[in-house]
Amino acid sequence: MDIFEIIYILSGSTIGLILRWLIKYSFGKKLEYLFDHSLIVNVLSSLFLGIFIAFSVNNQNLILFFYVGFLGCFSTFSSFIYQLFNLIQKRKYLSLFLYYTEVLVLSLLLFNLGYFITLTFKN
């Protein structure tokens, strides 16, 4: 890996981190597990990934910048797992199931939405 590849990853990561931070602190108070900043970020990440995949990008620098850097830093898989863990610790099993299902279903829907809308306008 050369210095330019590292710069692409760091640039994407910085933008992803800033956008994630802005989303997190734009809501002020936490909106609870069933609708919080982590859900918003994960769903948006899925939408962005769907759009990115639909473009069939072959440029290695763009892949490093957006896929590895931006989406890698913007998405919050560890936060998602931590929230599931907290719900287990609190024995809120219905909330656990609802939150897990909500994140997965909405993420899959937004990925498909981004993918198919991009393909529609691309062609």
pLDDT at 80: 86
Q: pTM of the entire structure?
A: 0.86
pLDDT bucket at 106, cuts 50 / 70 / 90: very high
Distance of CA 15 to the CA centre of its chain: 13
Residues 43-69 have a mean pLDDT of 94
**Total structural domains within the chain:** 1
Residue 54: pLDDT over 90: yes
Torsion angle (degrees, nearest 10) of CA 6, 18, 73, 100 = -170
pLDDT at 29: 59
In sequence order, what DSSP letters do the residues of 60-98 get, joined into one string? HHHIIIIIIIIHHHH--HHHHHHHHHHHHHTT-HHHHHH
**Domain membership of residue 28 as a residue range:** 3-122
First-last CA distance in the chain = 35
